[in-house]
Amino acid sequence: MSESSERKIRCLVAKVGLDGHDRGAHVIARAFRDAGFEVIYSGLHQAPEDIVQAAVQEDVDVVGISILSGAHNTLVPKVIEGLEAYGAFEDTLVLVGGIIPDEDRPELEDAGVDAIFGPGTPMEETIQFIREHAPER
Amino acid sequence: MAPPELVADLLDGKHRALARAITKIENRSEGYRDIVAALHEHTGHADVVGITGSPGAGKSTLVDKLAAEYRERGLTVGIIAVDPSSPFSGGAVLGDRIRMGSNVGDMDVFFRSMSARGTLGGLSTATSDAVKALDAFGKDKILIETVGAGQNEVDIVKTADTVAVLVPPSSGDDVQMLKAGILEIGDVFVVNKADLAGSDKTVQELRGMLEMRERDPDDWEADIVETVANTGEGVEELLSVFDAHADWLDRTGKRDELERKRYAEEIRTLLRNDAGALVEDEVERRGGMDDLVERVVRRETDPYSVADDVLEPFRDAVRHND
């Protein structure tokens, strides 16, 4: 049957913790939409378990956490643990964007973050990375 | 995950399997038909409510509050929220999850965003298949939320047992209400944001419109409910209207009638799609659409003759079956 399957890359753009700035998350959501992705935006002030709930229910290929508050070392690993608990970590690309000091990067990468995009990263670079690394399912 | 395994896990109550099954349904991935087929015998238990209305009418906030109230009553809830996709990139921002604040952290409210993906008619099939997945999973109540912007959306809501149409106050004069479309499909009309000016007038206009609706004496009489979704005002009343409508469906045998009509429509849609795909294959076999068009442009043939030609083998096959 020549019924065409139409796979779309689904991304959760997540704001976690007390950080109240989501302009960047909005800009990214829009750029992802224009790249043809389906974007679910979490809204502000989410707990890690809320992000996990959204990622599991929405079955996203990519979880992009935007974080500016400096709490990344506590919050991001919690999201990853939650994804693991649902068996959803293996085939989900986990990205972090925002203000992440260089010395914190190795720890996040060890925790399972696939890539970190700091301020000034061209949008096209992030989109290209997702296109190349979105997990095969 | 192979379809049989996915189905077993879904029936076993695994959220991830439910989520993945819906993805396969949305993507029309290989094996999705087997999944839907295997789920069918486990469906038929959930009440399905469609909620539609113009953008900004407050659908998501209301859905959030409805879900919270159902949970309060010990029921589990599945929600499918459909948002439009970009006609240019095909991408979409699915933003309704943000308003699910009353239910964050509660896995027994399974909220799933779907994009319209610009498919003609395909969306309603995908949505009703996703509803089946939630039903088979064991959800008691399923809410389908969609922007009432066009025919596609009207079609989706038809997959629901009960349809609520949200009308914001001051949403136009009574001629707007006479126009064809979503106002004809409501079993209940919700004037949300009823704390705003103009709400009384909107209720009056709706009432006027409903009085003019043609109906048989034993038809359901559409209700009008005022709500303020932000505060939860009117939510309980709305739920009792949903319950009353569900009772009415059972009492009058309309539910059975509705179900039969829906399956007939679903089978027809599948047949049309599958037949369409066969025809596409035949067009390809004959050198593709561009070739056929070229011959029409050069006036060597015409569209009617091409259609006759392409369908000839199908007609033959059908005749052989007689």
Q: Do the chains contact at A1 and B29, CB–CB below 8 Å?
A: no
Give the tens place of pLDDT for each residue, B162-211. Answer: 999 998 887 776 666 666 666 778 899 999 988 888 888 889 888 888 88
The letter for the amino acid at A29 is A
Is residue A32 in some structural domain? Answer: no
The mean pLDDT value for B139-150 works out to: 86
3-state secondary structure chain A: CCCCCCCCCEEEEEEECCCCCCHHHHHHHHHHHHCCCEEEECCCCECHHHHHHHHHHHCCCEEEEEECCCCHHHHHHHHHHHHHHCCCCCCCEEEEEECCCHHHHHHHHHHCCCEEECCCCCHHHHHHHHHHHCCCC
* pLDDT-above-90 percentage for chain B: 59
The pLDDT of residue B131:
96
- pLDDT tens sequence across B98-143: 888 888 888 999 999 998 876 555 677 889 999 999 999 999 999 9
pLDDT band at residue A55 under the 50/70/90 scheme: very high
How many CA atoms, within 13 angstroms, populate the side-chain half-sphere of residue B253?
1
Q: Is residue A66 part of a domain?
A: no
Average pLDDT over residues B93-101: 83
Probe site for chain B from A4, A11, A33 (most B CB atoms < 10 A): A33
A89 lies in some domain: yes
Smallest CA-to-CA distance from B14 within A30, A56, A22, A111 is with A56
For residues B288 and B305, what is the distance between their CA atoms, to the nearest angstrom? 16
From the list A100, A95, A125, the residue with the least C-alpha distance to A112 is A95
Give the pLDDT score at B208: 86
Q: Is residue A60 domain-resident? A: no
Q: What's the pLDDT score for residue B34?
A: 96
Q: How many domains does chain A have?
A: 1
CA distances from B87 to A41, B95, B115, B150, B287 (A): 20, 17, 12, 14, 29
> Residue B190 pairs with which residues in a beta bridge?
B166, B225
pLDDT value of position B174: 66
For chain B, the residues whose C-beta falls within 8 A of a C-beta of chain A are 15-16, 19-20, 22-23, 26-30, 85-86, 88-95, 97-98, 104-105, 107, 110-113, 115, 117, 119, 273-274, 277, 280-281
Least confident of B97-101, B225-229, B269-273, B313-317: B97-101
Instruction: Determine whether the interchain pair B91/A53 forms a contact, defined as Cβ–Cβ distance below 8 Å.
Output: no
Q: Which amino acid is at B279?
A: V
* Cβ neighbours of residue B74 closer than 8 Å, sequence gap 6 or more: none
Residue of A nearest to B102 (CA): A50
Segment holding B246, helix H or strand E = helix B235-252
In B138-234, where does DSSP find H-type helix?
A: 151-157, 174-178, 199-212
Interface pTM, i.e. ipTM = 0.89
Higher pLDDT, A120 or B293: B293
**What count of CB pairs under 8 Å joins A to B?**
102
Share of chain A above pLDDT 70, in %: 96
Interaxial angle between packed helices B32-40 and B3-11, expressed in degrees from 0 to 180 and rounded to the nearest 10: 40
**Residue B178 confidence (pLDDT):** 63
State the pLDDT at residue B122: 61
Give the mean model confidence (pLDDT) for residues B239-267: 94
Domain that holds residue A117: 38-55+77-100+112-131
Q: What is the pLDDT of residue B179?
A: 67
**Cross-chain Cβ contact A57/B112 below 8 Å:** yes
Residue B13 CB contacts under 8 Å (≥ 6 apart), including other chains = B137, B138
Check which CATH number belongs to the domain holding A50 and give it: 3.40.50.280
Contacts of A131 in chain B (CB under 8 A): none
Q: Which residue has the higher pLDDT, B209 or B296?
A: B296
B130: helix, strand or coil:
helix
Domain assignment present for A63: no
Residue B42 per-residue DSSP state: T
Say if A64 falls within a structural domain: no
Residues 6+ apart with CB under 8 A from B60: B81, B96, B98, B99, B100, B145
Could you count the other beta carbons within 10 Å of the beta carbon of residue B149?
Answer: 16
Q: What pLDDT is attached to residue B149? A: 63
Confidence label for A2 from pLDDT (cuts 50, 70 and 90): very low
Q: Decide if A26 contacts A54 (C-beta within 8 A).
A: no
B274 CB neighbours in chain A (<8 A) are 1, 3
Give the burial string for B258-282 (b: 16+ CB within 10 Å, else e).
eeeeeeeeeeebeeeeeeeeeebee
Contact: A38, B115; criterion CB under 8 Å = yes
In a domain, A17, yes or no: no
Question: Cβ contacts (< 8 Å) between B91 and chain A: which residues?
Answer: 32-39
Residues B116 and B148: beta-carbon distance below 8 Å: no
Smallest CA–CA distance, residue B249 to chain A, in Å, is 31
CA closest to A4 among chain B residues: B28
DSSP strand E in B96-249: where?
109-115, 141-147, 162-166, 188-191, 223-226
Distance CA B52, CA B271 (A): 28
Q: Residue B156 in 3-state DSSP?
A: helix
Cα B80 from Cα B146, distance rounded (Å): 8
| One-letter amino acid of A80 | I
Residue B51 CB burial class (10 angstroms; 0-12, 13-18, ≥19): buried
Tell which wins on pLDDT, B7 or B171. Answer: B7
pLDDT in tens, B43-52: 999 999 999 8
Measured between CB atoms, which of B16, B29, B86 is closest to A88?
B16
Torsion region of B299: left, alpha or beta (phi above 0 gives left; psi -120 to 50 gives alpha): left
- Kindly state whether residue A121 falls inside one of the protein's structural domains: yes
- Beta partners for B53? B147, B166
- What string of DSSP letters covers B201-221? HHHHHHHHHHHHS---TTS--
